[in-house]
Structure 1
Amino acid sequence: TYITFPIYSGITFNNISSYVGIQAGIAASGKRDNTITTSINGIASSENQLGNLSILLPDFGIRAGLILKLSNKLNLHAKYYQGLINIFDKETSLSDFTWRTQQFTVGIRFSIRNTNDCGTCPAWRT
């Protein structure tokens, strides 16, 4: 689980908005299931243990996305994130494995109030 801090800028043309920027993140938690197998006198036994992931802090990368406005209350949203830092800790794992974070998200946004009609909302009147 990561806590992320995106900074981005975008442009809107008609009903499509696009944005690009950077994102930094830190791992809030991360566990993995380890299976340990032991063999005594030819008899093998396995045990599952929960261990920490061998990841480094922080994560940093590039984020980009598109927002398609379907109505004043409904939008489709797609975003992509590509980490630039190898977050796999080579010292504790003794491995040359490279692990960079990648994320692709698709979603629907729904506004409770009409975003183009703030002048008629009672809370926005002066």
Structure 2
Amino acid sequence: MFIGEVSKNTGLSIKAIRLYEEKGLIPAPKRRGRYRVYAASDVEVLRLIFEAKRLGVTLARLKNVIVYRQGEVDWQHINHFLKRVKVELEVQLTTIAGNIRQVEKCIASIDSCPVIADDNT
């Protein structure tokens, strides 16, 4: 699959795909003449990168997660990582829910205050 098709299938720009290749997140694809030809496994890793970035995972962190063993992606390693990300998001959700409750208390407190008339009317 050529880079333009990979871009359409992953939602990533061509520039981003080349950057991820440069950073070693995906292996250098085979070439057909001067064109890069990506494998289906490359597309899957690029989709993972797209989703992980959407969740706020940095490229530096992904670099340690996307591991290749004997030329194949270690999906078990990625699976463990995603489980850790899920826990992190659940903690953030709990924190945000607590913050929302606190804001609601502040709003209720303000709503129960007497209204002060404007003397300029």
- TM tier relative to shorter chain: under 0.3
Specify which structure has the higher proportion of strand.
1
- Normalised by the length of structure 1, the TM-score is 0.20
Specify which structure has the higher proportion of helix.
2
Q: Which structure is higher in RCO with an 8 Å CA cutoff and minimum separation 6?
A: 1
- Normalised by the length of structure 2, the TM-score is 0.21
